[in-house]
């Protein structure tokens, strides 16, 4: 049984798509860093101008905590990273189950270790590899940003466009910014992991492996469009329920809140759980 788990984990983490996914994320992180550095130079000019005019620029504190990938509200790199996250986290290993079904490899594995163990091992590998594809670029981004921009503690009056009230854990951003970053990376790990697991459900319905990989992304876009089209997001609080925004630790277009994260987490978990239950039922019958 352990052999099946370790085999699946090896297959998930030692394939070229894992590196490609991380590379896409790291490219976004580099774009974000370049734009942050350019923006700081731009603001430096403004700061100098303000000082010449007699203004005190100290309130506009430049800090690494507000310019790394997870918390950057402005850069194209950060927006691209979170928009593509459902694709990159599924790209790592979301194709494998569909492929193994087509080639018949799944039957071999089921004969060797049983359907339950095989599927559980697959789900674990999908969850961990998807989570890693979301968190590795963010960690790399944070370290890269620390190499160029000092990690000063943000002030509410100087960083009014980042994690502002009532964003989830916004108070931590100004009191313990490092902890705030770590918690959001962990949240993204879980959400991306659950998203990647959706590919398993898709593979039970669709044979084409690349369509399975794109399924979570298409689903999230559809949900966003439906919520926007019918104005459902305005019914309970004036906020956006889009998956692409709530996983960010910043009030970019929507305000992430623990309620929304919980709803999305439960919904993703429910889809996969129902699929597993149906599968079990089909096996018994």
Partner 1 sequence: MKQKKMYGIISACILLLIAVSARIVYINRDAGYGMPKTVYYDFGETVPLGDNFQIDKKKADGYTARILDSQFYTAKEARETFQLPDHKEDLPADGFCILHVLFTNEYNENVNNEGIAVFYLPLISDDVCLLNLDEEIYGKLNPKIALGQFESFSLEKGTSLEVWIPYRIHDDNLAPPFVSDMDMFRKKKFYMKITSYPERKLLSISP
Enumerate binding residues for partner 1 (CB under 8 A): 54-56, 58-59, 61, 143, 146-153, 155-157, 160, 163-168, 170-171, 173-175, 236-239, 255, 257, 259-260
Which residue, 114 or 237, has its beta carbon nearer to partner 1?
Answer: 237
Identity of the residue, 89 or 260, whose beta carbon is nearer to partner 1 in the bound complex? 260
Question: Which C-beta is closer to partner 1: that of 174 or that of 244?
Answer: 174
Q: Dig out the tokens for 179 from the structure.
A: 């902890």
At residue 28, the 3 state secondary structure works out as helix
- Closer Cβ to partner 1, 218 or 236, answer by number: 236
Q: Which is nearer to partner 1, 262 or 274 (CB)?
A: 262
> Which residue, chain included where needed, has tokens 């310019």?
67
Tell me if residue 14 falls in helix, strand or coil.
coil
* CB of 122 or CB of 255, closer to partner 1: 255
In order of 28, 182, 271, the CA distances from 65 in angstroms are: 17, 11, 35
Nearer to partner 1 (CB atom), residue 68 or residue 93:
68
Q: Rounded to the nearest whole angstrom, what is the least distance from the CB of residue 1 to partner 1 in the complex?
A: 29
For 215-282, the DSSP string reads HHHHHHHHHHHHHHHTTGGGTSSSS---HHHHTSSS-SSS---HHHHHHHHHHHHHHHHHHHHHHHHH
CA distance linking residue 78 with residue 144, whole number of Å: 14
Name the minimum Å distance from CB 182 to partner 1: 16
Q: Nearest approach, Cβ of 9 to partner 1 (angstroms)? A: 20
Min separation Cβ 261 and partner 1, Å: 11
Nearest to 99 by CA among 202, 171, 29, 170: 202
For 134, 145, 162, the CA distances from 201, given in Å and listed in that order, are 20, 37, 36
Residue 57 beta carbon to partner 1: minimum distance, rounded to whole angstroms? 9
Work out how close the CB of 165 gets to partner 1 at its nearest, in angstroms, rounded to a whole number: 4
Cβ contacts of residue 268 below 8 Å, gap of 6+?
Answer: 191, 194, 195, 197, 198
At its nearest, how many Å lie between partner 1 and the CB of residue 170? 4
Tokens representing 82 are 């979170």
Q: Which residue in this structure is represented by tokens 């919904």?
A: 267
**Rounded to 5 degrees, what are φ and ψ at 75?**
-75, 150
């Amino acid at each position: 049984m352990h052999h099946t788990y370790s085999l699946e984990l090896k297959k998930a983490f030692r394939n070229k798509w894992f590196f490609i996914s991380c590379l896409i994320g790291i490219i976004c992180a580099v774009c974000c860093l370049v734009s942050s550095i350019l923006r700081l130079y731009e603001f430096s000019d403004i700061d100098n101008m303000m000082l010449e005019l007699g203004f005190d620029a100290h309130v506009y504190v430049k800090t690494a905590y507000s310019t790394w990938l997870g918390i950057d509200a402005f850069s194209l790199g950060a927006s691209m990273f979170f928009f593509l996250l459902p694709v990159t986290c599924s790209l790592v290993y979301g194709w494998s189950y569909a492929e193994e079904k087509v080639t018949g490899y799944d039957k071999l594995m089921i004969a060797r270790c049983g359907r339950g163990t095989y599927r559980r091992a697959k789900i674990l590998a999908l969850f961990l590899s998807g989570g890693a594809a979301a968190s590795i670029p963010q960690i790399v981004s944070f370290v890269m940003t620390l190499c160029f921009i000092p990690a000063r503690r943000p002030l509410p009056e100087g960083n009014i466009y980042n994690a502002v009230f009532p964003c989830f854990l916004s108070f931590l951003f100004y009191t313990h910014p490092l902890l705030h970053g770590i918690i959001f990376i962990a949240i993204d790990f879980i959400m991306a992991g659950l998203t990647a697991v959706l590919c398993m459900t898709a593979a039970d319905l669709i044979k084409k492996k690349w369509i399975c990989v794109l399924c979570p992304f298409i689903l999230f876009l559809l949900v966003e469009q439906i919520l926007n089209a019918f104005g459902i997001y305005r019914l309970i609080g004036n906020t956006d329920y889009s998956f692409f925004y709530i996983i960010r630790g910043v009030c970019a277009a929507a305000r992430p809140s623990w309620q929304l994260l919980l709803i999305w987490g439960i919904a993703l978990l429910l889809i996969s759980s129902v699929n597993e239950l149906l599968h079990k039922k089909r096996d018994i019958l």
